[in-house]
Amino acid sequence: MHGTPGPVTIDLNMLMRAYAIGIFPMADARDDVDVFWVEPEMRAILPLDGFRFSTSLRKAVRQDRFTVTCNRAFARVIAMCAESAQGREQTWINRTIEASFIALHRQGRAHSVECWRDGELVGGLYGVEIGRAFCGESMFSRATDASKVALAWLVAAMRKGGLTLLDCQFITPHLASMGAIEIPQGDYLELLNEAICDSPFAPPRVQRPHPVMPGLYSVSVEGVAGPGAGPGAESGLVAGFAALAGADAVGAADEPPLPVSSTGASSPGYSIAHFLTQTS
């Protein structure tokens, strides 16, 4: 008997090279089989030094209202981001995009931040790390402030890990309230090129048009996504997260973490809040 074939994925090398030139995939609906490529005229970014760490959010972080982890439940995060929600009955995350990002996560190139409460996954976000840039893809919240807390932890981990560019793709009121701004795509590409200049996916000086997609160049890079890679391999984001929250907060186990029991200056939330306050 033959097993059921797995979901189709986008060519992962091509997917990373698309991000390297400011292009990302979307679908019209969850059950749509097609994927199209997007290069918006205006791009949303969240300047790391412009993050708005409001008093109420700072309180939520310091009180450890959620146990926050990194890469503990990537597949569950992207699945919950793809669910219908009030005001968003359709999602752009189809099965192909979902499978592709899970595959990138297994290579250590896509990461998630999770918020847990009473053993339940109630918020989180995911995205792609390329060089010193993190391209945020989507976030979800099933509890008040959960996605905001996840974003605060992301910003702190990026700063600690030496990342410089947080790409939000499209502006929303939610992101704008936390400091996101819109810039022309050309300005974004300048920031992106600077952030990924040391990445193996950085555009070469001489480019050959991709045979299928003229907007993508086609150059193979040996060894950049080998089987030895894993979630968090050579990741500045994951290293920054672990430095701030402890190595126990990072892992591939798809299970609820232990509740936060430490208090005061030894709590993870206090460390994150102190770091963001000191560097804001």
Q: Is residue 218 pLDDT above 50, yes or no?
A: no
Q: What kind and span of H or E run contains 184? A: strand 181-184
Taking the alpha carbons of 59, 63, 64, 65 in that order, is the dihedral positive or negative?
Answer: negative
Q: What is the dihedral of CA 242, 230, 136, 222, to 10 degrees?
A: 130
What is the spatial distance between Cα 105 and Cα 112, in angstroms, rounded to a whole number? 9
Residue 264 confidence (pLDDT): 55
What is the spatial distance between Cα 43 and Cα 167, in angstroms, rounded to a whole number? 8
Strand partners, 112: 126
HSE, side-chain direction, 13 A CA sphere, residue 222: 0
What is the spatial distance between Cα 62 and Cα 66, in angstroms, rounded to a whole number? 10
Relative to beta strand 133-141, strand 165-169 is parallel
Token pair of 71 as six digits: 């890469």
Model pTM score: 0.86
What is the spatial distance between Cα 131 and Cα 194, in angstroms, rounded to a whole number? 9
Q: What is the pLDDT of residues 144-189, one digit of tens each?
A: 999 999 999 999 999 999 999 999 999 999 999 999 999 999 999 9
With CA atoms as reference, report the closest residue to 9 among 124, 110, 125: 110
Q: What is the pLDDT of residues 46-81, one digit of tens each?
A: 999 999 999 999 999 999 999 999 999 999 999 999
Residue 270 confidence (pLDDT): 87
Spell out the residues 6+ positions from residue 276 whose beta carbon is closer than 8 angstroms to its own. Answer: 51, 53, 58, 61, 152, 155, 156, 159
Residue 225 confidence (pLDDT): 39
Residue 17, sorted as left (phi over 0), alpha (psi -120 to 50) or beta, turns out to be alpha
Q: Distances from the Cα of 164 to the Cαs of 154, 188, 202, 239, in angstroms?
A: 12, 12, 15, 14
**Residue 21 vs residue 223, higher pLDDT:** 21
Q: Is residue 220 pLDDT above 80, yes or no?
A: no
What is the spatial distance between Cα 24 and Cα 31, in angstroms, rounded to a whole number? 19
With CA atoms as reference, report the closest residue to 104 among 9, 20, 36: 9
